[in-house]
Amino acid sequence: MATTKAAIKTLKPGKYCVIDGEPCKVLDVICSKPGKHGGAKARLEAVGIFDKRRRSIVKPASTEIEIPLVDKKTGQVVMITGNTAQIMDLETYETFDVEIPKEMKEKVIQGNEIMYWVLMGRKMLVTGK
């Protein structure tokens, strides 16, 4: 699992983080002011990249949170079976199966090159080339 760490208060909308072991895209970060006897709190709202579930956490703003390292690669669509596409990486020639998102169904064509991301050992299709 390729991750790094960063303070919650440094995250911006559109960046990525890990909540409950699931890579998520940050929607909003709200930091409250520190009180008389305590530090600032941060409310982080995010949506899961793979499961599209909305998640939110409230922690001290200086708390370190895991940030997934996004590895962007290109591959070729070898075969399409239902909602699954078999992709061959263009660098390593490794083949693997990945689910096709509903919004990309018509863009994924057999024989075409496609861009995919690897996050925490899981793969997802992003765009067609």
Q: The domain that contains 41 carries what CATH number? A: 2.30.30.30
% of the chain residues with pLDDT over 90: 74
Q: Say yes or no: 58 and 81 in one domain.
A: no
Cα separation, 23 vs 15, in Å, equals: 11
Judgement on whether residues 14 and 58 belong to the same structural domain of the protein: yes
Same domain, 10 and 25: yes
pLDDT of residue 73: 94
The residue range of the domain holding 42 is: 3-68
Residue ending a domain, among 46, 68, 90, is: 68
Over the Cα atoms of the chain, what is R_g? Answer: 18
Shared-domain flag, residues 64 and 76: no
Regarding whether 80 and 38 lie in a shared domain, the answer is: no
pLDDT tens digits, one per residue of 52-103: 999 999 999 999 999 999 999 999 999 999 899 999 999 999 999 999 988 8
> Does residue 129 surpass a pLDDT of 90?
no
Tell me the pLDDT band of 34, cut-offs 50, 70 and 90: confident
Q: Provide the pLDDT for residue 118.
A: 93
**Are 79 and 27 within one domain?**
no
Closest to 119 (Cα-Cα) out of 72, 75, 74, 70? 70
Question: Tokens standing for 17?
Answer: 């983080």
**Mean model confidence pLDDT for the chain:** 91
Who contacts 21 (Cβ-Cβ below 8 Å, separation ≥6)?
none
Q: Is the pLDDT of residue 20 over 80?
A: yes
Residue 56 and residue 84 in one domain: no
Statement to judge: residues 39 and 85 lie in one domain: no
Number of separate domains in the chain? 2
Q: Are residues 63 and 12 in the same domain?
A: yes
Given 68, 85, 103, which residue is the final one in a domain?
Answer: 68
Query: How high is the pLDDT of residue 1?
Result: 59
Judgement on whether residues 8 and 55 belong to the same structural domain of the protein: yes
Q: Is the pTM higher than 0.75?
A: yes
SS3 49: coil
At 102, give phi and psi (nearest 5°).
Answer: -60, -40
